[in-house]
Structure 1
Amino acid sequence: MDNNAPIFKKQYYPINDILYGYLEKYKRLTKTNVFYDDLLRFQGSVVVYDKEGEDTLWVRTYYNEYETIEINNSLKRIYTLLHSDGDERNLQFLNVDHIDFCTFGNSKPFRIKIRNILNDNYTHFYIKKADASRIFGLELEDILSPNRINYLVFKDTLIEEHIVGIPGDVFLDKHLKNCTESEKAQIAKEFVKFNERCMIGLLGDMRSYNFVVIPIYDYDHIVFKIRAIDFDQQCYEGNFKLYKPHLFKENFPFYQLVNDKLKENSIEQYQNEERSILVKRLVGSEERLNDLLTAMKSMELSPKEKLEQLKMDTYKFTLDINFKKAKSMGEIIEAALNFMKRNYKSDNQ
């Protein structure tokens, strides 16, 4: 285990014209009347506590009466853009219950709770500063993982749907002890696959509070899935170890599950399965992926010293000269995906 892997606050990378062109082509752009910076003008706030009375590091915000009406109407319209292509016929039945602001982490998001007053169902979405790193992370997750991502961008504002699941740290603390031995083995399998996706896609800082565990009922047993919820550290860190979730001390119980429940040949089998599936996804999204890589290669996504370190780390890991030749984080990702294509042939090829 590598317990000495600090993550420092990363710098913000604005969207450039090439990335805007990509977002327009793939229907990720929208128009709204409220920006991230507008929500920062709250007049007051109170701390949000969980059911156990612990500080959640979120605060509930309050605005003056005039701004509240305007902001709430805009947020309800954003909800319809995200979930029903802007259909406003049921707008009158939507209510903005809460606007919470996170005081922890890089993106400082706002979490919006929207409730349907007819049936009391509710959902959340997030408004954040539109950082290019995070957008590339969202797109790579949508292309490379089994999970789809729903988000929209308006100028420098990012709107993201809520990803349902149990935060990894909460799962370890409150739920793992209640799992059967076969369920623990299944979680270990999923963690191996999750670890492989993060490493190949260079998604960093996947500590337990940055991913969720999703229990799914299937006939007479529960299937567990693991998916990322934080994409701020996409292609940013120089140390290759920071793209391997099993090396974070916060994830040690998952790492231990893998060691306790899986034999070495099973771990290798699950890694190969994930690589093979990943290659099939790459082949099925070739045009979109090439467009995304073009946008990634057009901009700086990390300080030069981190780029140089990651080039050498990945070269030593793969012995592929293309990593050494890379001139940007986009080229490192391209080298990684091409390495996968060469070494793990898809059944469709």
Structure 2
Amino acid sequence: MLLLTPGPVQTHPSVRAAMAEDIAPWDAAFRPFYTRLRERIRAIAGGVEGEHVTLPLQGAGHMILEAAIRTYVAPGGAILIPMNGEYAVRMARLAREAGREVVELHAPDTRGITPGEVAAALAAHPECGHLGMVQSETGSGIVNDPAAIGAVVRAAGRRMILDAVSAFGALPLDLAAQPEMDAVVFTSNKCLEGLPGFGFAVARVDRTEQCAGNARSWSLDLSDVLANSRQNGMGSLRFTGPVQTLRALDVALDRFDAEGGRAVRLARYQANAAALHRGLKALGLKPYLEEADQGPIVVTVHQPAGLVLADFVAALKRQGVTISSYFTTEAPSFRIGAIGDIGLPEIAQVLRAVEAALAELGLRQAA
């Protein structure tokens, strides 16, 4: 079965095979491995040794994002969130339920937020000490530019938290050039092509130290993760996690390096997304985004008249392809991931599967 969701993603057999080992995370032999893995991740983020640190936390992307909000935004503090997709909606909910004030900056889910919009909102809301932004919205496929938006945040003297869960390892990011960014958060899956199980923040050391006590949660306190590392060493875990995931991630990072790193991986994903966008359009389907706004992570398509999403997903499975079984866009849609251990041959396979599924359901003419 070919897995073409925007996460979890299709992984290489060698990555999956790395899970087949019992590991004792408290064993001395594990410590140098874990230390090295954290350094590899910091380097991909463009972090600077001594200024930035990788802070792992077991769980899903929502958990590491909530931990970042709780850690870096003081209790009762306010955060400005550009609202141009479902994952921004989720960020806002995480912040509100953590007791932080949220100011929403609304924009269509068909384009990225602009620096001018952010600058105006920050000027209108001096209470917002932070901006929280999703880099890649996997509902529609748009991309928000952290470098351009970060420059505005920096000029306004504010701080930034970046949700790069579906972007890290492919889309550009350089923490060394963005001192306004408290943390970028992501997971072991998605564009790193590992398996789910761990979230990571690559964060500023000074800010993490300054924010001790903000989280009001032991589990979701990144300053406590840093304090544990200081006390027990960078090879130590606070609590038992799915450490086999870390072994798999290490193998995935070996593959990342062998492929040529972030820029080469991005080029592969861009080629996948472009082929999907063109191919689905050639089948008579209407992409959710214009080609100029199409990001490299996921391609979203308006549902043709008469399509029942559950039936379409089941028909695709009969063709050997799995896609997301739900949509999060403002208009009904379906989405196909362009990331993971796939290339143009797999994209051709999924286009054939879509055509066959539509024909099976009697929707080829409707499309």
TM-score, normalised to structure 1, is 0.30
- The answer to which structure, 1 or 2, has the higher relative contact order (CA under 8 A, 6+ apart) is 2
